[in-house]
Each structure stands twice: as C-alpha cells, then as structure tokens.
Structure 1
Amino acid sequence: MTDVHATLSSAQLRDVELALAGANGGCARLRLRDVEMVQGETIVLHDAEGTDVAQLRADDVAVVAPHPAEVAQIGAGTAPDLPGETLVSGAVSARRSLGHRDRTDLRVTAGFARVPLAMLITGTVPEPEDAGWDDADPVIVLDRDDTSALASAIARVEAAGRRVVVMPSPSDPASARDIAEQLVADRVDVWETAIPASPGCAILLTGLSGSGKSTISKLLVERLAETDERTTTLLDGDEVRLILSKGLGFSREDRMLNVQRIGWVASLIARHGGIAVCAPIAPYEAMRREMRERVEQHGRLLLVHVSTPLSVCAERDRKGLYAKAAAGEIAEFTGISDPYQIPSDADLTIDASVVAPGDAVTQILEAMRP
C-alpha cells in the first residue's frame, strides 16, 4: 500500500514534535489539506521544506467540509472546494530526526529526565533583574517558530543562572501546562507573560479583473512608504505571474497554486516584520481562507474586497477580455464563465466605482490601525 504525503503547518509541526516526545500518549490530531486515504494507510508528514519528519498510522479518519457549500458569487459555474480537509488522529512515530529544529540540545524529547518542579513562562521572558521566579528548576520556554524570540528567551533564563528547557508551543495554548506536566515535571507552575504580537502583516485586495485592485495597491504602497517605518512589498497579481508563477495557466488548479505562492511569500514577509500588499483576483473563498491561515501564523491579514460591479469592470477593460470571455473565446474567466465568490469575512469592502483610489487607501490605512 502506497504512502500518503501531507505538508504540516508550523503549528502542526509543533504538535507532531510534542507527540513524538510522548505528549498525549504519542498521538496527534491534525487537520490535513488535500489528503485522500484508505483506512490503514500510512501518512508521511513533512515540513514546509519537504523534509519527512514523522509518520502517522491513522486509526480514525473523517472528511471535514472546507467551508459552507453556499456562498454568494458572481459568474457562472461552481467553484471547487479547494483545499479539502481531512481530520486525522492516530499514533505518530519518527520518520527522521528533528535535528533541523532550533536548539535541539535544549528541547524536550522522548525519555526526558523528569523533575519534581518546573516553571513555565508563557510569553516574553523578563530581564534577569526583573525575573523574581521562585526555586523551580528548570524554566520552560515555548518555541513558537520565531528563532530570534527563542534565542532571546534562552539567553535571559541562562543569564539568571537557571537551566532552560525548550518546549514546542502547542496549537492549543490552554494545553501547555498539561503537556509540560506530561513531559517535564510532576508539577509545573505557570508564569503568565504577554506574547509579543508580530509587527508584520499582509493586506489582500481581492476583486474582479478591472476592479481597481492594482491602482489602489500601488498607491497604498506609496502611502505606506511615507507613513510606516516597516518595509512594504507589493505582490501584484500580474507581476507575480511573470516570475513567481511563470509557466502557470489559468485553470482552477493553477490559480489556486498562484494564490498559494503569494500567500507563502506574504507569510514570510509578515514573519520578518514587513508588510505585504497582495492584489490577485483570488476568486475562491477557500484559497483566501488558506492564505489567511498561513499569514496569521506570523502576523495579521487584512482582507479588502474591492467590490466594483461586474458591469463597471467590463467597461474599464481595455484588453477586451470580458467581451472575449462572453463570446466563449476565453475559458474559465472569472465573473463570466467561472465564479467569483464574494468574501464572507472581508475586513473592509470598497466599491472603487464610487470611491476614489486615494480615499480607498485612506480607508485601508484606518482599518490597519490596532
């Protein structure tokens, strides 16, 4: 029987690492995308870089609907339910060493020598002179896949003369203490400290071709350069296709992959404290939802629906694409022969047929404020 392969998100990778260390009886429960399997097959789990890290012997498999089936849409046809999700739970076993993880010398692993008492710090580790912790030893710090933050936390604990243990932060923060008591100490005292918010963010402008996304996004980048100290990167749909997505067509699968690539780059920008301004059509709710989930692992995503009516977009079309699509000369053209699903979770909606580009940018900047 062939193996089934699945790519883990950062949070899922942490949960798998905890299972490999013995948490929850060595079991993990994961929502995996685009997984179709037969009972008894082995699911090979790998990280975003393609490194196989573990395998899961599934004992329970259930398909979970990716989103409500009925959504408002413009255009003909039915959008694909992409990506699908499968809820899988079962025993996890190591496939390869997790030696690529930060500070493997300090990480809790299977066979860790338990201690009577430990301190778990949930967020930022105070400066040594402000620590004030009791005699609990070791001090557990959580790894949230931020190399810089983890290094700073370790340095502060060690500067206070304490032993430090690194534990992956579980996807359910409320379970951290329970897992620490399973893996590290008989009793774990918790010191609640603030988790610093990532300063990075992504702004996704979605809408029909000709809706005004590119005009607004370019002006937005100019305004951000004048008003925001963070580095801003524009990921315009047409420009991305020239390099990042060169060779992709306009089938549903290729458009999905194009937006996935934009979301991946945007998440990297957000992770490193920058601002990504993205302006693809992104017609399907499933692809926008995946991008939100990817970005929000590291920062904030602001979803802006540029809701310019189809009739106005067609009037603006200098290339005549809408007319060709209506005549059947272009297949799967969004808004005509292929649907555009109207966002149900937009943070901001702007009709660029009545709102000037400069005013639209002002609205976006206002929505960006905490």
Structure 2
Amino acid sequence: MSSLPVGDGEDLAEVAGIARVVLDADGLDALELALGGGLPGLPSWIEIGAGEERVLTDSENTPVAHLRSDRGGQHALRPLQAMPHGAGPQWDPVIRRSANDIRASVQDAAGERRVLAVVVDDLPTLTDVGQAVDAIQTADFVAVLWVVPSGRSSRRPDAVGSAGLARAARAVGELVAEQTGLPVIPLVVPMPDRDVGGIEDVLSRYGSAETLRLRDLRSTETVERLAALPTAFEREVRAIYPEASAAELLAAHERSGPSGTVVFFTGLSGSGKSTIARALADDLTDRGSRVTLLDGDDIRQHLSAELGFDVASRERNIDRIAYVASLVAAHGGIALAAPIAPFAVGRAAARTMIEAHGTFLLVFVDTPLEVCEMRDRKGLYAEARAGRIADFTGINSPYEAPEDADVVIETVTTGVADAVERIREALFLRIGRASEGV
C-alpha cells in the first residue's frame, strides 16, 4: 500500500517566509483528495492568483502543503508534512487509501472489465444488502469499491457518525463479497461538504466506471419504515401506558442524558493536547454524546484575536474559554477545551466557574519541553529561541505544571488511543459519581 509523500525540515525552511492560508476541515479534505489523485487540482475556493504561492496550513497553523502558480495560471502542489488526522476506524490506513493507490490496484486486475463504486452514506439495511448483490450481479463487474464518504466535519451527534458508519459498512461489505464472489474493497473517501464536483467524478479517479448510491436502491417500504423509527419509542409508550403515565415517562426520557461536563486540557505547545482532544471528541461523538471542541488555536483566532500573550492576556483568554465551556456544561453538553493554560491561578478560576454548572476534569498532557521542540511542526519554538516571539510558554514565559490534574498523560510513553481510553474512563467515572450525588 502506498502513502502520500511528505516533505522534510529543509522543505519547511524553504517556505518559511511565504504567506499562509489556513484551511478549514473542508479545505483539508480537498487537499487530501488532491494530493492523492482524487481531484485534478484544488477547488476554486482554495485557488491563488497567477504568479503567486502560498503555504497551506491546518487550523493550528501547521504547514501541510505548498501551492505555487506560474504566470500562466498552472498550479503546482506539493506536501510538506503528513496530513493531520483523527482517531477511529474511518482513519484506518487500510481503508483510507489514496485514489492513485486504489486506481493502480484495481486497474491491474480489471483489464477490459469494469469496476463499480457503491456509495454507503447511511447504515446499510438487510434489504440494502440484497439490493446491492442484485445490482452487482446484473453486470460484468470485476471488483466493487465499497465507499464511505467521510469528511473531517462529518459529525452527526443525532445519528450514527463516521466511525460507526465505517465499522458497519466494512462488515456489510464482507457479506456482499461472500454473496457475489467478487472482491469488495472498503474505502473511506474524504469528501468535503463544500463543492468539489460530484462524487461520481471523484470516484472515477479511484478507478470506478460506474457509481451508485446504496440508499437509492431502497424500496418505498424500507424508506417509510426508516422514517418512522424516530417516533417508534413514543408510539410504543403511548400504546402501553395510560395517558398520564405515558406523559411522565416521555418527559423523564426527554430529560435523560449525560451530565454537563468539561474536559480541560493543559500542556505546552506541541505537547499533543489538540491531537488527543480531537481524538476524544471523535470517540465520544461515536458513542452518541454531543461534543463541543474548544481548541486553543481556534479560540485565539475567533474569540481572543485581540489578546496578546502577556500574563493578563493569557488569563483573560482562559477566562473566556472557561465561560464558553461552562455554558455548554450548563446545557448538559460535553465541552473539550485544549488551551495551553500555563498558570495555576487561571486553571483554578476555570475549575471554579465550570463546576458551578457541571463536572470538571483537568487533563495534564505531560510532554517534555525538548520533545515539544523536536516536534515543532509550526516552527514556533525555533522562532522563540531566535528571539522573534516574546512571551512564548516554555522559552521566555513560564509553564506551571498542574499538581491537581485528574488525569496525567505522558505522551512519550502513551499513544493517542490509550490516552483517549484513560480520559474516557476517568470522565465516565466522574459523570457517574456526579449523577449519584457523590
């Protein structure tokens, strides 16, 4: 299996002075497609003018690609660092493969026969399996791409999310392979919400000659039964109980849900806070929770853009994050906050504010300064060492390691998946105690 090429430290040094463009989740999806051959180039909403060049970054301002346009408007795109990714089965490299890789593998086997792409953008039903098998067997296909479109912003807290869909689709694909005798290749494609062309065009670059959506094969009866599912509980309750009892049970059911909770991460820049927080958000969303992610860099861009990095500004920034997180907790949601939060007094004030509305869990992402400097994907430590950034935590501004952390993650010895598991267990234990009044 091939992977996308990435640049090295010399590439980053070469582009250090070039203007940057921060990509949102859709932009990163489009970039992943373009670098892997799923798009002929970047969409118009990322394009630059003739003769210009830009460094493309993720939301944390980490350089991921270099885009150059010549005077004739021809674009050249090259990767600088590995694309940022999350956790969960939709990020498994076995099924999240590039268009170039898939096309090369299926074309070798296809010859003159065709490859079918089946888009699985909803949980497959039992009748879907039969319909898919019939559709596949009506033509002379040599292989099937079993495609789950999953963009970085594809979070649906009121339905099965990308992780659950990827798991279910992969298992159902194995059933289809058994019944058709054809290779069914599970595949996650990072389709953005914004327009990059039809999915048929994208999948043709993966090697498919024809595309169909699994949900388009559904009978009217199946569609109607699925549409009735959200009200099935209420119908059964009203059928079983008298009106007064049913009203009480339905009201209690509506009130039920997770306690309002804030997981507050702290650690040096580059410690891994955001990576772990995003992975935890994906994990909790996959389990049905409504999660709000308050990343430190995003807050700095949108809520605290006018603040500096002196002590007073840092405390004001943490106060704002804590206030927003407390609002989420007050409404029964789960907020994940991932600022640096270098000072104990600021973290203590955040705890006090949030615990008035819900549960507070402090997570210290403990990564040695030298390791953070070695990672330095944004080049910030080098800038601070050179004296070009003032008040940079760990270099010319202190970081006060917390002594009251509820969870300590030593990233040198703990991977992201293990970190998520430890935090989740501590979170559920804390929520359980809170609900019991302990």
Structure (1 or 2) with the larger CA radius of gyration? 2
- From the two aligned structures, give the one with the greater strand fraction: 1
Which TM class, normalised by the smaller chain length? Answer: 0.3 to 0.5
Give the TM-score taking structure 1 as reference length.
0.46
